[in-house]
Homo-oligomer: A and B are copies of this chain.
Amino acid sequence: MTQTDPIIAVLDLGGYRLTAPRRAIAALIAGYGGHFTAAELELAARERRLGLSRATLYRALDLLIELGVIERLDLPGGDHAYVPCARAHHHHVVCSRCGRTAEVTDSGVAEAVAEIAHQTGYEISTHRLELFGLCRHCQVKTALDA
């Protein structure tokens, strides 16, 4: 782990202090392949005796969202999860079975949005597209279960 964590790098560039709690949180996040919830992070931190307070955790998440290195998803069930992600505009596909996520670029969505703006007369400034389904891996598993 001599490698620089990208999250740490962004914090540094942003002029934020590289504190122990932030490094710890960055490491935890890097450990998740896909999405994670605030509760999961909190639990993981407690298990490893990192001794960071809930407030710090939430503050760090807010900061990372603001910096665009993680994004908040609203799952259909109503609770939220976070995904580490690139900073450019994109969307997420979430596997509803295993939670694995993939990023996709705007392919065709921008046109659709323009069309909608035209239809409604709204001046659209942001949009959020979230997709749910089965990842390739779970498609196979599901087929076997049947």
Contacts and interface: CB of A to CB of B under 8 A. Distances in A.
A14 interface: no
A53 interface: no
Number of copies: 2
A128 B93 contact: no
Interface of A: 72, 74, 76, 78, 80, 91, 93, 95-96, 102, 104, 107-109, 111-113, 115-117, 119-136, 139
A119 B108 CA distance: 12
B95 A122 contact: yes
Contact of A133 (B72, B111, B117, B132): B117
Given A107-B116, A108-B112, 18 more contacts: A72-B78, A93-B116, A93-B120, A102-B122, A104-B119, A108-B111, A116-B131, A117-B133, A121-B135, A121-B136, A123-B133, A126-B131, A126-B132, A128-B128, A128-B130, A128-B131, A128-B132, A129-B129
